[in-house]
Amino acid sequence: MSSKKYGRSSTSLSIYNCFVPTSEIIAVEETELNKKQRSTGKWQKMAKPHAFTVYYVKKARNHRWRCRDVTFWCADEYLCTQWIQALKELLEMQKCRPKQLLVYINPYGGKRQGKRIYEQKVAPLFSLASISTDVVITEHANHAKDNLFEVNINKYDGVVCVGGDGMFSEVMHGLIGRMQKDSGIDQNNPKAPLVQCNIRIGIIPAGDCQPLDVSSVHHNNTFLKYAVSLLGYGFYGDVLKDSEKKRWMGPMRYDYSEDEEEWKVIKGKFLAINVVNMSCACPRSPKGLSPAAHLADGSADLILVRKCSRFDFLRYLVRHTNQDDQFDFSFVDVYRVKSFQFTSKLSEDNESSVTDIGKKRFGQFCRDHPACCCNIANSTWNCDGETLDSSAIEVR
């Protein structure tokens, strides 16, 4: 579709075209022209101009979207009405457009701006697009997760979470857990196939709609967590555990602180063990933890950083911030996996059941006193920004 705007001068006539894909249209509304608009050059030649405005989104720099609008006008009222009706019918035919959403807002996450951002930026956009919403302000940890097990989830086209990674984690665990419960799937069985969740999750302010790989994490046949981006043991887990004591600092705190398949056995001493379902690219790490990791391909990248000097480990971390290959080190190994099992030396000594599994099926990852300023005997798993209590886990 196009809009032609005419600007007349003594020497030339300029025409401006605006093309808007229907999938990017938010709303179409009739536009009332005030006296000031009627007196401008493009309207004054018409005895009684009629207009309608198309509100849409436009891709901007740095993967951002901006709201825009363009006004179409003509002298024929009937023609204007026909265009409005045709466009609205076209929007109704778009099956991917949500009509009713469930919104969870964490008023305390990040810089405590979630509620204000939603009310000032997001709610008016939903209203403009004729999207009905049920809004829940979370009051305690796991409020959203617990609520998703109770609501009539079938009445919604999607769930929107406003907050940090913890808010997204709650919504993800609630939705996937609800799907498994409704389907009679035992989450504590690490070999049980998960039922796919078809309800979309929107993240404010950073989200768009993409399918994701989800890994389930178990310990001794007990379900622990789902992971969609990073599962890190060693350095990243220890940093997270230490940062939990500094939550008052906000985001700045991170700167401080089965089938009959053949299993590959890997033993050694490691500073970091990371599993990523996506590249995990961000402004600080343009290529991410694993540049070749893909969305929704049914696999994850297992990154093993063996024990090395502090200087070499720092070189490895620095390479995540530039264009150099972060895997081009003799002490870094990468595997593309569909499942893996892990136990630390400490777990092997204390948990006989895990030890038996390790000896029979997959061996062990053993790790002595860390070389990177950590003074605890056992490390911690970082699962999408949440700590796990168990070190011995199974991931599928």
Share of the chain above pLDDT 70, in %: 74
Model pLDDT, residue 382: 87
Name the residue ranges covered by the structural domains of the chain: 5-92, 100-209, 230-395
Least confident stretch, 82-91, 187-196, 201-210: 201-210
Q: What is the pLDDT of residues 25-82, one digit of tens each?
A: 999 999 886 644 545 555 455 556 789 999 999 888 877 788 999 888 888 889 999 9
Cβ-based burial of 206 (10 A; exposed 0-12, middle 13-18, buried ≥19):
exposed
Q: What is the pLDDT of residues 356-368, one digit of tens each?
A: 444 444 333 334 4
Model pLDDT, residue 357: 42
**Mapping DSSP to helix (H, G, I), strand (E, B) and coil, where does residue 66 land?**
strand
Model pLDDT, residue 211: 64
Q: What is the 3-state secondary structure (H, E, C) of 237-301?
A: HHHHHHHHHHHHHHHHHHHCCCCCCCCCCCCCCEEEEEEECCCCCECCECCCCCCCCCCCCCCEE
Active site residues: 165
Handedness of CA 140, 146, 152, 157 (dihedral sign): positive
Model pLDDT, residue 110: 58
- Which CATH number among 3.30.870, 2.30.29, 3.40.720, 2.40.30 corresponds to the domain 5-92? 2.30.29
pTM of the entire predicted model: 0.64
CATH C-level class of 230-395: mainly beta
Handedness of CA 28, 34, 38, 42 (dihedral sign): negative
Element housing 349 (H / E): helix 345-350
Model pLDDT, residue 89: 93
- Taking 90 as the threshold, does the pLDDT of residue 281 lie above it? no
Q: What is the pLDDT of residues 242-255, one digit of tens each?
A: 666 665 565 555 45
- Which CATH number among 3.20.20.100, 3.40.50.920, 3.40.50.10330, 2.60.40.10 corresponds to the domain 100-209? 3.40.50.10330
Model pLDDT, residue 42: 52
- How would you classify the pairing of strands 100-105 and 132-137? parallel
Q: Which residue has the higher pLDDT, 386 or 56?
A: 56
pLDDT band at 105 (very low <50, low <70, confident <90, very high): very high
As given in the structure block, the two tokens for residue 20 are 């808007």
As given in the structure block, the two tokens for residue 75 are 């002298």
Q: What is the pLDDT of residues 12-27, one digit of tens each?
A: 334 456 677 888 999 9
Average pLDDT over residues 300-305: 90
Q: Which residue has the higher pLDDT, 348 or 306?
A: 306
